[in-house]
Amino acid sequence: MNQPDRPRCDETPAWRALQHLWGEGARGFDLRNAFKTDEGRLAAFSQHAPHVFADLSRNLIDARAQALLMQLARECGLQAHRDAMFAGELINNTEERAVKHWLLRTPRGAVSDPDLAEVHDTLDAMLAYASQVRGDTAITDIVNIGIGGSDLGPQMAVAALEAYAVAGKRFHFVSNVDGHEIDGVLKRVRPESTLFLVASKTFTTIETMTNARSAKAWFESQGGRNIARHFAALTTNISAAREFGITTTFGFRDWVGGRYSLWSAIGLPIAIAIGAQGFRSLLQGAHEMDMHFQTAALESNLPVRLGLLDVWYRNFHGFASRSIAPYHSHLKRLPAYLQQLEMESNGKRVDAQGRAMGVETSPVLWGEPGTNGQHAYFQMLHQGTQVTPVEFIAVKQPAHDLGDHHLQLMANAIAQAQALMQGQHDAGGHRDFPGNRPSTFFVLDRLEPASLGAFLALYEHRVFVSGSIWGINSFDQWGVELGKVLARDISARLASGDVAGLDASSAALVRMLSPR
């Protein structure tokens, strides 16, 4: 099914039924009563999916709302849209591209897609290279230069899998065009022991190219000669990388979106950190989640349930944001990664046909690891005037064996979810908490390559589901282009001092910040 054929969610019978349910009392749903009156609530609203347990029972949803949301998914053609993605149809209609990041984690021979052999050939070559770098004790520092999807995924995953990382290598991630960032890294590394990875799908992104030029100039100014040994490029634009002077290259295709690219050659820093076996496990975990998404009945399909809950919260409850609370320090970059995944995918004001949306789309995602967030913004989550659903991510087995840290960490995660729901009513005035605040609680047994892969694929598919219900193209990002174009104009003006035709505010800032 092509995107233009999809019905508008807000014109379906299920949407009208949901509106009716909302008006008839769903807006006044009380979690405390729901648990009191329904002994089966936990069982009905929790489930296992590959490598992930999810407790959705503390969300403001009941069986009737869930059933209507499932009906909505059917009326919106969710299954056909999902199957179109997995069939390689051009569902990224504004760029006329297929959406096949899932193919990067599909085992050799498992589907008949014509690109699968190339995927595996590239993967084998990249993993062989990663093994070689891991074994090369003369290389101590890996500097990844990339931004957005060419930075956030690898950076998040390398941190998340720190417990599995090879000894003797330091990983640095340079993304910002702000020279302070690369300057700080270059001061800490030596040319003979550093490998620079220039990661860019397009190999044209201004930040990445500026940083790559500075890295190359620094390398050569320090007497570095062997670019082939000290630079590799991860890109769909191999010819541009060669022109830049990099001959060690690993490619991927335009059907991998930047924010979906950590499974591709962009994942090379992850493969160097955790090794070929570890990287294959990451892919395997994600593949298991792909299979779950494709085959589980909608009612027990975790990405479907989560994506529909997101629609229910955004469009009926009106919740404008969602807070991500990973109770594991190694997941410190997860909120930033999920921000791009969800907000760049679903932050759209028109549907796939270009018509103005009649309903709200992506929420704002934000967060910090627990327990740090508790001592910063949880006050607002408990007693603020806005309700923000919270997503707890807990890991049963810690990667350390220190004292009672983990027990306390887990106790805090559970207690916060409990406090949000329960509230406090008789303490008086400032001490009262309304409670009835929703949360989802995910549990992974261990933070390991396979479970991380599964969790990330779960999130990718969840974003697909809400985007699909909204009828938007989750796979383009035209909204970032205008700023890029204007920045080019302002760069020239800062250099020349020319402010002709600018608005008064921009002109004043150009005058103030011009180095002239």
Catalytic residue numbers read: 344, 375, 484
**Between residues 66 and 237, which has the closer beta carbon with respect to ligand F6P?**
237
Which of the 8 DSSP states describes residue 139? Answer: -
138: left (phi over 0), alpha (psi -120 to 50) or beta: alpha
Q: Which one of 26-34, 108-116, 144-152, 437-445 is the stretch in contact with ligand F6P (CB under 6 A)?
A: 144-152
For residues 476-495, which are near ligand F6P according to CB under 6 A? 477, 480
Q: Write out the two tokens for 50.
A: 């590959």
- Which residue type is seen at 140? T
Could you tell me the smallest distance in angstroms from the CB atom of residue 470 to ligand F6P?
A: 19
CB-side neighbour CA atoms (13 Å) of 35: 12
CB-CB contact of 434 with 423 (8 Å): yes
Choose which of 154, 224, 258, 275 interacts with ligand F6P (CB under 6 A). 258
Q: How far apart are CA 428 and CA 431, in angstroms?
A: 6
- How many C-beta atoms lie closer than 10 Å to residue 197's C-beta? 27
CB-CB contact of 234 with 265 (8 Å): yes
For residues 48-77, which are near ligand F6P according to CB under 6 A? none
Indicate whether 148 belongs to the interface with ligand F6P (CB under 6 A).
yes
Indicate whether 150 belongs to the interface with ligand F6P (CB under 6 A).
yes
Q: How far apart are CA 391 and CA 326, in angstroms?
A: 8
Q: How far apart are CA 511 and CA 492, in angstroms?
A: 13
CB-CB contact of 489 with 96 (8 Å): no
Indicate whether 147 belongs to the interface with ligand F6P (CB under 6 A).
yes
Indicate whether 99 belongs to the interface with ligand F6P (CB under 6 A).
no
Could you tell me the smallest distance in angstroms from the CB atom of residue 346 to ligand F6P?
A: 13
CA distances from 242 to 186, 203, 207, 478 (A): 23, 10, 19, 28
Residue recorded with tokens 């046909």: 353
Indicate whether 472 belongs to the interface with ligand F6P (CB under 6 A).
no
379, 385, 386, 390 alpha-carbon torsion, rounded to 10°: 30
- Dihedral pair phi/psi, residue 55, rounded to 5°: -105, 105
For residues 178-237, which are near ligand F6P according to CB under 6 A? 200-202, 205, 208
**Between residues 69 and 142, which has the closer beta carbon with respect to ligand F6P?**
142
Residues touching ligand F6P: how many (CB under 6 A)?
14
Q: Which one of 5-13, 143-151, 425-433, 501-509 is the stretch in contact with ligand F6P (CB under 6 A)?
A: 143-151
**Between residues 98 and 443, which has the closer beta carbon with respect to ligand F6P?**
98
Residue recorded with tokens 């009156």: 37
**Between residues 150 and 361, which has the closer beta carbon with respect to ligand F6P?**
150
The residues, any chain, with a CB within 8 Å of residue 2's CB and separated by 6 or more, are: 84, 89, 90, 91, 93
Q: How far apart are CA 53 and CA 478, in angstroms?
A: 35
**Between residues 147 and 186, which has the closer beta carbon with respect to ligand F6P?**
147
**Between residues 341 and 465, which has the closer beta carbon with respect to ligand F6P?**
341
Could you tell me the smallest distance in angstroms from the CB atom of residue 274 to ligand F6P?
A: 22
Could you tell me the smallest distance in angstroms from the CB atom of residue 152 to ligand F6P?
A: 8
156: left (phi over 0), alpha (psi -120 to 50) or beta: alpha
Indicate whether 281 belongs to the interface with ligand F6P (CB under 6 A).
no
Indicate whether 346 belongs to the interface with ligand F6P (CB under 6 A).
no
Could you tell me the smallest distance in angstroms from the CB atom of residue 253 to ligand F6P?
A: 13
Q: Given the rule CB under 6 A, which residues bind ligand F6P?
A: 147-150, 200-202, 205, 208, 258-259, 344, 477, 480
